[in-house]
Structure 1
Amino acid sequence: MNTYRSLTKEEIGRLEAQACTAADWNEVQVAERFTTAHVHHARFSGKIRLGVFEGEFQLAGGVRKHAGLSYVVLHNVTVGDNCLIENVKNYIANYDIGESTFIENVDIILVDKKSRFGNGVEVSVLNETGGREVVIHDHLSAHQAYIMALYRHRPLLIERMKAVIEGYAEEHASERGTIGNHVTIVNAGYIKNVRIGDCCEIEGAGRLKNGSINSNAADPVHIGYGVVCDDFIVSSGAHIEDGTMITRCFVGQACRMGHNYSASDSLFFSNCQEENGEACAIFAGPFTVTHHKSTLLIAGMFSFMNAGSGSNQSNHMYKLGPIHQGALERGAKTTSDSYVLWPARIGAFSLVMGRHVNHPDTSNLPFSYLIEDKNTTYLVPGVNLRSVGTIRDAQKWPKRDLRKDPMKLDQINYNLLSPYTIQKMMKGREILKELERVSGETSETYAYQSAKIKNSALNKGIRFYETAIHKFLGNSVIKRLENIRFRSDEEIRQRLVPDTSIGKGEWVDVSGLIAPKSEIERVMSEIETGTLCTVKQMHERFAEMHACYYTYEWTWAYEKMLDFYHLEADKVTARDIVAIVRQWQESVVWLDRMVYEDAQKEFSLTSMTGFGADGSKTEQQLDFEQVRGVFESNPFVTAVLEHIKVKTALGNELIDRLKGLLNENEA
């Protein structure tokens, strides 16, 4: 921390000889070791504090520049040690600049009034006309935003959340801006009322107005050429490049935005990738991805979603304005040229193909295909469970989490099968069986809401869901009983009893966080009563919930296991567990075989079309193999086969541990 002193007469004389001026030299203070050697063509007004200029910057191409000030106008500015500020076209006003910061060829950087730096901005998400506004702030998580946007039927909750955020915004308001340590700002235009964190790089940005860039040394932010941001907050690790334009937006940790992407009144949470297209009033939960110029996302809620080229939605069905909204639950995908007329709700891990105008709600039929044929929506339930793409997605998301900041704002659960999706499959299974019962087993098609389900698809859907339920419950049982050698059925029963009662009942996906609804309700009640009264406390409660996921999951799975397999808690035996494990093995192997067969299609003769330049079928196949490899040695394929071996062995290991409790025939 520098201690400051006034300039000496000799120093003032040297500065004036170096074309420096000041409205009042008495207002200029400098660090103890300050020297005038590297300060020239500078104009000072208001209260000025200058550090020492002893360091050097090495630029790309090997150019070296010494720290100092040249051709700048500073008004009410503190400059930290070893900064270089030069060629400021207009001026810098009302800023505290950290150490070793490099500012060159900028137009203007100023704070013109008491500012909240983007904190407290209301984003009209989901409904462009208002009513679901989310108030953004530096530490906004997807889970806070989800509650604020969707739980409008609890006005006290919304009022209290807004009050907490208002308090945070006011606490961090100031008439002075900050530019952190080791920041680079070059060739930038208009920067007004923006707070800039450590190690941020801003290159060629056109306009940045009323916002916070929460960069830090662990995970710097990069803002590139032609970027325009108004009323915004950008989180650590984000990269916003190449003419991106955002207005009233929150950009989460490790997001990537570029290639002239434009967005207004939208929220983008961790690891979103947005390029080329357009967004309006969307809630983009973690890993929402769109890459195509022709894609418009509007008034929708998404997460773990990939939008195909030309994907579009309409939120303007009637004549009262853009008031309709929709949701694609986690893992949903849209194919090229897909269209959904809001309102609609698409189930988790579903694929949308074609145009759908009859407002489908398939939330209780996850892992489905929605296919349009002659303006009719056909639903194929559960079929996405066998898709190689679905499994590949589930594997890639954790690997693509680019967040390096130790402070993770979003609590992300990557599990494909969880109480959230399994409860929906259980409901879906009941729905399909009831459709079959009411309409008859021989019906060619079944009507479900605004969609049609073919007979064969219905029967396969029931099997897909049952197989996934067996797989999930078996996974949970094996995990619960691992590494323990039991001497009696009673010991098994004791081990099966959950560690907590939390987890029973319905589960929800709160934009990436999978949790018991009871716990989300508890958080909301604590906010309403004032028990949770700070942004930090809310974050800690969500983090705690996420950390306890597997404990809560077993509570739910135990209850469902007893119900699904028609068991009684005080009568469970080793024989029952072995039966569950064997059913689990069958389910795992069957699903993996289906995925294996789906992957094999990628190596069919049809897939080789376009390979081999002007050659024979043999050359075509050789070209394909050089580019795509051989099916048997494909890493994903070998991983599937290995998964079958590992899971089979895992089940056998538990059965072996229980053999002593089985009679001779069962063993």
Structure 2
Amino acid sequence: MNKIQKKPLSALGYNFIETPLPKGKDEYYLRNEQWSRKDQYRKLTAYEVEALVRNDNTSDDWNTIFVSEEFNPQLVQHCHFYGMVRIGKLEPYYLEFHNLRLPVGLYNSTICACDFGDNVVVHNVNYLSHYILGNEVIIANVNEMATTDYAKFGNGIVKEAESENGRIWLELCNENGGRRVMPFDGMLPGDAYLWTRNRDDEQLQQQFKSFTEKQFDKKRGYYGMVGDRCVIKNCKIIKDVTIGSDAYLKGANKLKNLTINSSMEASSQIGEGCELVNGIIGYGCRVFYGVKAVRFIMASHSQLKYGARLINSYLGSNATISCCEVLNSLIFPAHEQHHNNSFLCAALIMGQSNMAAGATIGSNHNSRGADGEVIAGRGFWPGLCVSLKHNSNFASFTLISKGNYMSELNIPIPFSLVVNDEHDNRLKVMPGYWFLYNMYAIARNSWKYVDRDKRIDKTQQIEYDYLAPDSVEEMFNALSIMELATGNAWYALAENASKKALTEKDIRKKGKELLLNNPEEVAKLTILVKGFENSSREVQLLKVHKAYPLFRELIVFYGIRNILAANKPSFLALQAAVKNAKRSNWQNVGGQLMKSETVEQLKSKIKKNRISSWNQLHDQYVEIGEEYAAEKLQHAVASMMEIKDVAIKNLSPELLSAWLTESINTMEWLTAQIKRSREKDYINPFRQMTYQSTKEMDAVIGKLEDNSFINQTATELEEYKNNIQKTIQEWEL
């Protein structure tokens, strides 16, 4: 049975706060704290009351209607007022936005206990209750827009006298809620990452909960806010939503328990048919065309559109989900997911990722419990109709070829192509695929993510370069895997079988020797690995003889490039900066790379209460970001020296000069690969066959020689050469 309560009409608009009020406070005390202009209003004059009545307005008590000095009663018509209402300046103008032209004033609306800034437009709002509107706000044709006294605006808190059962949680990374977090306005992907990990550290988990509780008070009675110049039109239900300035909401079906961040510099928009419940929307976000989102956070400048579904998930900044479904996932910045049947569930996706049509990540429901988890490093790219099984783990920049992968995968080699070869009944992995065959895509992606990073608040310094501490550490691991696998393959041949017991060190040594000195012999071997797939079938590494030297060359290039980027004044200054350089493990903390020891220090400070709030943790992100260039330089030089097998103390001007010159060859090769991989799309006859002529093809897709990115890389190559020569001369190497 629906519980319909019947109360006196005289109570409508009053007694907003249902819990006992603090001593000496009335029900408006929080409202007055929110509205700085509360002292700029006066009571109505007798003439104004008469004019309002003549214009078919009603009020339960005209003494509770307050107005500014520039109030014009002729611009209020056919409205019903309940409770205390404060109205700002109303002047005989009309406001126009996107061809919508409406006169300033309040018309045909029922208004309960609201405050209005100057020159607002309120037309045909069936029920507007407990809201504070800024200046030049337009609200037209809205069925219901109300705030409750227990409104939390999407934050994972409970108010006075509320049950803990009413708290909103985000069940990230796992369907059974084992990694759930309490959402809050301002949550960064690094916060979500640290909170969802470390579940065995109860003290740390309790601190994160405490941070969130302290961020918000539990008092009831806060009003919904609508910032200056917002436009809200043709919406049905808006309940417990606070909205920043310059937002644009049109045609939404239901918006409930939300914070919509928006500003002059980064306005947010919500469009037709959307239903959004229990969420935080960041600055500059776009949500359009039938989107459904429940228990979610959208970081700044992210987009949901064309029927996308986002449930129990965090979507990082500068990301787009279109037509797809995402559940229980934590997604770092720069994620792309399009096409109607892309599905992502119970995953940690570490950014710069792209989901192709038909990809299905998770939701097997064929085990004894809820789905497990998928963890994918930066640059994750499951191809067309890929189906993956939980649990799986992927190194950075893994491309998965079309196929149904029936078993759990653990792919520790970055920049790999993964192929499910059903004909040979083998899983095949090609290390270095991106560099060998699709350099254009990986180079352009790194560039475009920097170019498209529209964040205003860059508290977390996001790494977009494909050669960075995380991927380079994975490359070192890949080198050891390739050495061991090559050694095993060589010793597996009857003529090479050794009678003595071989240690893993012996096998790796032989593999390294072959890979460095006899790549032709390695090319003839069938190189198998274990631990990549949870099955009994074989897993084969492809083109190891090409990938191994390429990884080594790129690690050296990573070192040289960071030396140049450091822009040190002399060789001695470089020596001083890297004298204690060493390799170490790194973590991707919400897109910001940190040394593992730095992450451990952060956790220790949190537990010792030296970091006692989210704001203080965010300040730490900034400090860590300021040190990143120096720490990355040390890691890059240490990595280069390890590949060259030279101790840091033995780095000499002569060696560095030689390596600087050698790096030009690497840069030339990468630049050529960028053009070569794109050129294939022009010379492939199957790509040409839909065009009647080369001229038509150029008209449709553009000429290769006009490709701006390729031309840009050619320019960068010349700049790189000049920079190398300049460094050698200035440092007198």
Partner residue in 1 for 2:641: 562
Equivalent pairs, count: 643
Q: After superposition, where does 1:582-597 map in structure 2 within 5 Å?
A: 582-597=661-676
Matched, 1:393 2:445: yes
2:386 paired residue among 338, 343, 348: 338
Deviation track 1:410-431 (CA, whole Å, cap 9, x = no partner) reads: 4322222111111110111111
Return the offset for 1:342. 1.2
Matched, 1:51 2:88: yes
Return the offset for 1:284. 1.6
Partner residue in 2 for 1:445: 527
Secondary structure of the residue aligned to 2:216 is helix
Deviation track 1:198-217 (CA, whole Å, cap 9, x = no partner) reads: 11111011001111111112
Task: Output the amino acid matched with 2:406.
Answer: V
Q: 1:543 & 1:190 partners in 2: Cα distance?
A: 39
1:117/1:195 contact within 8 Å kept: yes
Q: 1:401 & 1:493 partners in 2: Cα distance?
A: 36
Partner residue in 2 for 1:7: 44
Partner residue in 2 for 1:23: 60
Which shifted more, 460-469 or 168-177? 168-177
Q: 2:714 & 2:98 partners in 1: Cα distance?
A: 50
Q: After superposition, where does 1:15-164 map in structure 2 within 5 Å?
A: 15-54=52-91, 56-59=93-96, 64-89=101-126, 91-120=127-156, 121-164=168-211
Task: Output the amino acid matched with 1:230.
Answer: V
Q: After superposition, where does 1:608-623 map in structure 2 within 5 Å?
A: 608-613=687-692, 620-623=693-696
1:317/1:342 contact within 8 Å kept: no
Q: After superposition, where does 1:347-426 map in structure 2 within 5 Å?
A: 347-353=395-401, 354-363=403-412, 365-374=413-422, 376-386=426-436, 387=438, 388-403=440-455, 406-408=456-458, 410-426=460-476
RMSD: 2.2
Partner residue in 2 for 1:283: 330
Q: 2:220 & 2:629 partners in 1: Cα distance?
A: 40
Partner residue in 2 for 1:665: none
Matched, 1:470 2:549: no
Matched, 1:245 2:295: no
Q: After superposition, where does 1:143-292 map in structure 2 within 5 Å?
A: 143-170=190-217, 174-292=221-339
Distance 1:637 1:62, change over 3 A: closer
Return the offset for 1:655. 3.2
Distance 1:571 1:167, change over 3 A: same
Deviation track 1:289-347 (CA, whole Å, cap 9, x = no partner) reads: 11100111111122111110001022446533323010221112121111111111111
Once superposed, which parts of structure 1, at least 4 consecutive aligned residues long, lie more than 6 Å away?
499-503
Task: Output the amino acid matched with 1:255.
Answer: S
1:634 paired residue among 698, 704, 707: 707
Matched, 1:653 2:701: no
2:586/2:596 contact within 8 Å kept: yes
Distance 1:439 1:635, change over 3 A: same
2:545 paired residue among 452, 459, 463: 459
Partner residue in 2 for 1:487: none
Q: 1:257 & 1:63 partners in 2: Cα distance?
A: 25
Q: 1:171 & 1:579 partners in 2: Cα distance?
A: 65
Deviation track 1:351-383 (CA, whole Å, cap 9, x = no partner) reads: 1112223222123x1101011110532100112
1:139/1:409 contact within 8 Å kept: no
TM-score, structure 1 normalization = 0.91
1:503/1:553 contact within 8 Å kept: no
Return the offset for 1:534. 1.9
Matched, 1:606 2:685: yes
Distance 1:176 1:636, change over 3 A: closer
Q: 1:576 & 1:503 partners in 2: Cα distance?
A: 19
Secondary structure of the residue aligned to 2:407 is coil
Return the offset for 1:445. 3.2
Distance 1:621 1:212, change over 3 A: same
Q: 2:54 & 2:701 partners in 1: Cα distance?
A: 69
Q: 2:489 & 2:327 partners in 1: Cα distance?
A: 42
Distance 1:390 1:258, change over 3 A: same
Deviation track 1:493-525 (CA, whole Å, cap 9, x = no partner) reads: 553222797985211111211121222222222
Q: After superposition, where does 1:482-501 map in structure 2 within 5 Å?
A: 482-484=568-570, 492-493=571-572, 495-498=574-577
Distance 1:567 1:306, change over 3 A: same
Q: 1:346 & 1:173 partners in 2: Cα distance?
A: 46
Matched, 1:541 2:620: yes
Matched, 1:514 2:619: no
Distance 1:556 1:297, change over 3 A: same
Task: Output the amino acid matched with 1:334.
Answer: P
Deviation track 1:443-488 (CA, whole Å, cap 9, x = no partner) reads: 313123235565652222212211211110121233446553xxxx
Secondary structure of the residue aligned to 2:148 is coil
Task: Output the amino acid matched with 1:370.
Answer: V
Q: 1:62 & 1:477 partners in 2: Cα distance?
A: 55
Q: 2:184 & 2:582 partners in 1: Cα distance?
A: 31
2:579/2:649 contact within 8 Å kept: no
Task: Output the amino acid matched with 1:40.
Answer: Q
Secondary structure of the residue aligned to 2:73 is coil
Distance 1:502 1:193, change over 3 A: farther
Task: Output the amino acid matched with 1:563.
Answer: E
Which shifted more, 262-271 or 534-543? 534-543
2:347 paired residue among 288, 300, 319: 300
2:110/2:128 contact within 8 Å kept: yes
Partner residue in 1 for 2:508: none
Return the offset for 1:585. 2.3
1:72/1:86 contact within 8 Å kept: yes
Q: 1:578 & 1:61 partners in 2: Cα distance?
A: 60
Task: Extract unaligned runs of 5+ from structure 2.
Answer: 1-36, 157-167, 491-521
Distance 1:573 1:549, change over 3 A: same
Q: 1:515 & 1:61 partners in 2: Cα distance?
A: 45
